[in-house]
Amino acid sequence: MSSSTDGDASQSFDETGDPIAADDDADPRNEPTGPRDGPSGREVVVPFRLYKAVTVFSTLAAVVTYFVGFTLIDAATLQISFVRTTIVYLLDNAGILPPEDVLVALLAITGVGFILLGTAVYVLGTRFRGQGMGKSQDDSSET
């Protein structure tokens, strides 16, 4: 059974709960997909199912990269960090243990890099909009 809140349902409903005809311009399924210039910059209109996947996975990727970044910064600043101890142990066994100050710099730079990567992924993920999720304020059809 399909719900009125599912963007992929066979029937669309307006804000009062009345059904919208499939050939009506107000039907969110009739909104074209693709890149647009919206009020907050460039946005990409995609089918609702794809929008949900992009939102979930970009947010998940951003959270994971933030976590890794802050963990690496923590390892750079704490001498007794579990992560730092593990990295030093692995590098020592590989025979490529750098001097202490170089290790701190590498861990800090890598940590900041992961945080910037997470920010970029999140920002790019927010550029997507599902069909029927509101038109841009610049659209002349809303007048």
**17-43 average pLDDT score:** 60
Q: Is the pLDDT of residue 143 over 50?
A: no
Q: Residue 19: what residue type?
A: P
Q: What is the mean pLDDT of the chain?
A: 80
Tokens of 44: 């990409």
Least-confidence region, from 19-23, 84-88, 106-110, 124-128: 19-23
Whole-number pLDDT of residue 4: 46
Question: Has residue 18 got a pLDDT over 70?
Answer: no
- Please say whether the beta carbons of 60 and 67 come within 8 A: no
The pLDDT assigned to 133 comes to: 76
User: What global pTM score does this model have?
Assistant: 0.67
- The one-letter amino acid code at 63 reads V
What would the pLDDT profile of 70-106 be if each residue is shown by its tens digit? 999 999 999 889 999 999 999 999 999 999 999 999 9
Position 20 scores a pLDDT of: 59
75 three-class SS: helix
30, HSE (Cβ side, Cα atoms, 13 Å): 10
